[in-house]
Amino acid sequence: MTTVPAPSWIRDAICWQVYPLGFCGAPRVRTDLGGEGYGGADGENVVHRLRRLDGWLDHLVGLGANVLLLNPIFDSVSHGYDTLEHRRLDPRLGDEDDFDALITACHARGVRVVLDGVFNHVSDSHPVARQAIAAGPGTEDGARIRWSGTSPYGFEGNADLIEIDLADSVIQDRVVEIMGRWLERGADGWRLDAMYAAGAEAWAPILERVRAAHPEAWILGEVIHGDYPAFAAASTADSITQYELWKAIWSGLRDHNLFELAHALGRHQEFLEAEGGAHPQTFVGNHDTTRIASQLTDGRDLAAAFALLALLPGIPTIYAGDEFGATGIKEERVGGDDAIRPWFPGSPEEVVAAAAAADSAPGGPHHLTLLKPDAAERILEVHRRLFSLRRREPWLVTASVRVEEDSLENTWVQIVLTPGEGDSADGVPPSPLTLVLNLGDEDRPAPGEVLEVVSGADMLDGVGPAAPGVVPAHGIAVVR
């Protein structure tokens, strides 16, 4: 299958990801769903929390980001992935006027907005699921969902999350209509949740129709394992979540095993060169994973994680709060995501005070926690510096990546980033950059002219900058 050209704007995309139900302080579970429909009081308890994001948009821009990636905002029972209706906002967040206001505010700042499309499964209370279950397998209505024998197929074993049959023509019509509806209202793209579950072949005809009307929409697919480029090419998604690299970053840094990271970087380069693999989404944490500040046993090594996120080729995504050193551990239990999807205050200036207060309304999201509150501003400044470098070197999005094998040690790696073809300005190609990670306990000489340096100790403890010309212990340097 021929790869569909990706939207031109994603070449410069840097995302800031928000889980709105938690971020905006919505109750974890709806208490207004007693009725059969949406009339009257039941299901109509609208609270305009989405506008809480307004106080954060300048922060997003100040980070160097230009894309707001939103996790679920549509009508749901609890966590947003148990959808009741894709055509309206979750009343815990607001209504269409709130959505329109957010789109207007973002676009006024040059910020694109990408929505989370949870189409693979719905709540067992969704009208489609209820009709299908009532009709049973082998019926016209029953064909809209997937079955395990005579029982509805629950997504990843969750009986309340009913998998939809995305190969069904009626379902495809509805998904195309819903995606188009919100793109026409101003959204700039979609993250397709659990895209791997239905498979590339189910999604290809849907995306073909969506793109016919919206060729500049970015399609990001969630795929955990397997051949990412092949899935992207077959489904025509523009980007795939690079979970393989995410895992190698946190475990390679935590275990001081940069050989693992080097292997994953080699795989990353293979993906970049393959059909469909040119625009992976890179990240060091998201709404489904333990926070990077909780993954690493030595907080100083966060400097390396942030540098890898900012500078490696792909479309980097900062999970809101990581830029302050937010902590949170994902647990495999009911409510196990609460700690990584916390409530945020109304503005970034209030983050440290909010974390110290540890306020959490009954039934509401978990409170925000920080690795080291007095380091939050320094961690934020490191993000700004590294993403500023990313902005000054825009070719990094499609750079090739190579590890200097002769220099590779458990705690030391030199990662060479080279401009791709066509990345020259006035016929002169940019010079390569080398990102050097030092997880050891001693400063070491930098192998070139230092353009940027981050000392993990200074970032975390404010001990002062590194000496000139070195890669600091538990730090990084970018050299040319």
For residue range 290-339, list pLDDT tens digits in order. Answer: 999 999 999 999 999 999 999 999 999 999 999 999 999 999 998 899 99
Condensed to tens digits (0 to 9), the pLDDT of residues 134-183 reads 999 999 999 999 999 999 999 999 999 999 999 999 999 999 999 999 99
Give the model's pLDDT for residue 330.
97
User: What pLDDT score was predicted for residue 41?
Assistant: 47
- pLDDT at 282 (0 to 100): 98
Q: State residue 39's pLDDT score.
A: 35
pLDDT computed for residue 141 by the predictor: 96
For residue 452, the SS3 value is: strand
The CA-CA-CA angle for residues 201, 125, 237, to 5°, reads: 25
Edge to edge, the sheet with strand 239-240 lists 239-240, 218-221, 189-192, 112-117, 67-70, 15-18, 315-319, 281-283
CA quadruple 180, 185, 191, 197: dihedral positive or negative?
negative
What residues have CB less than 8 Å from 402, skipping those under 6 apart?
265, 269, 415, 416, 418
What does each C-alpha distance from 3 to 114, 220, 291, 454 come to in angstroms? 21, 14, 34, 39
Angle (CA) 146-150-156 rounded to 5° is: 45
Per run of 10 residues, the mean pLDDT along the chain (length 480 residues) is 81 98 94 59 78 97 98 97 96 97 98 98 96 96 96 95 97 98 98 97 98 98 97 97 98 98 98 96 98 98 98 98 98 92 96 87 84 98 98 96 97 97 76 98 98 98 96 98
In angstroms, what is the C-alpha Rg of the chain?
23
355 with 369: CB under 8 angstroms? yes
